[in-house]
Chains A and B, each alone.
Chain A
Amino acid sequence: DQQVKQNSPSLSVQEGRISILNCDYTNSMFDYFLWYKKYPAEGPTFLISISSIKDKNEDGRFTVFLNKSAKHLSLHIVPSQPGDSAVYFCAASAAQGAQKLVFGQGTRLTINP
């Protein structure tokens, strides 16, 4: 049962343009969402998060949007840079119980010069 889904395994974007990565979830108990970036042979690096009481959170070039009614969130990166090429994971957690994270399968983003 995949509670967090990233339906696009890969995405290719031209340098300077906007990258939009999408994530859907099924568990209505999730109330905190995070995006991580991962390079090969390294651990995931925290990028940005959003609580379910908000619909948008911005940090520099990164903005996360949350649509609770659609159970959908997206990460916008603008402008995209070559160093942004990596695998991006969406993750979710629920306040009840432990703060374990449920991850999506990841989207491989490639920024083309």
Chain B
Amino acid sequence: NAGVMQNPRHLVRRRGQEARLRCSPMKGHSHVYWYRQLPEEGLKFMVYLQKENIIDESGMPKERFSAEFPKEGPSILRIQQVVRGDSAAYFCASSPQKGYEQYFGPGTRLTVT
């Protein structure tokens, strides 16, 4: 049973470009969560999605950031017009149901130059 998949593992973008991060949850998992880890800090919750629905986006910055989890395909975290402060590790996690442990992917390390 494959774990949570994230791609790309490393992403370099220039200021002003768009970044698209992808997450495929574990088989049978319908709940997806995105977290961001800044250097020397813990993980910070960004958004919680189920298929075609955003359940909780209280951790998402109000501008430039969006997330989706379509009926088919991976969940996408999209960052428009990236700035240097967006440089971080972005982790996706999935769970089979609400209230179960979350299992994390390997992360995407975004570097904005």
Give A contacts to B, CB under 8 Å: 4, 6, 32, 34, 36, 41-46, 49, 89, 91, 95, 97-106
Q: Complex: how many Å from CA A106 to CA B42?
A: 6
Q: Shortest distance in angstroms between A97's beta carbon and chain B's nearest beta carbon?
A: 6
Q: How far is the CA of A49 from the CA of B91 in the complex (A)?
A: 20
**CB within 8 Å: A-B pair count:** 64
Is the contact region of chain B dominated by helix, strand, or loop, or is it mixed? strand
A89 to B44, CA, bound (A): 12
Give bound CA distance, A91 to B95, whole Å: 15
Q: Which of B31, B35, B102 has the largest number of chain A CB atoms within 10 A?
A: B102
Give the interface size bracket for B toward A: 20 to 34
Kindly list chain B residues whose C-beta atoms are within 8 Å of the C-beta of A99.
31, 33, 48, 95, 98-99, 102
Chain B residues engaging chain A, CB cutoff 8 angstroms: 4, 6, 31, 33, 35, 41-45, 48, 55-56, 58-59, 91, 93, 95, 98-99, 101-107, 109
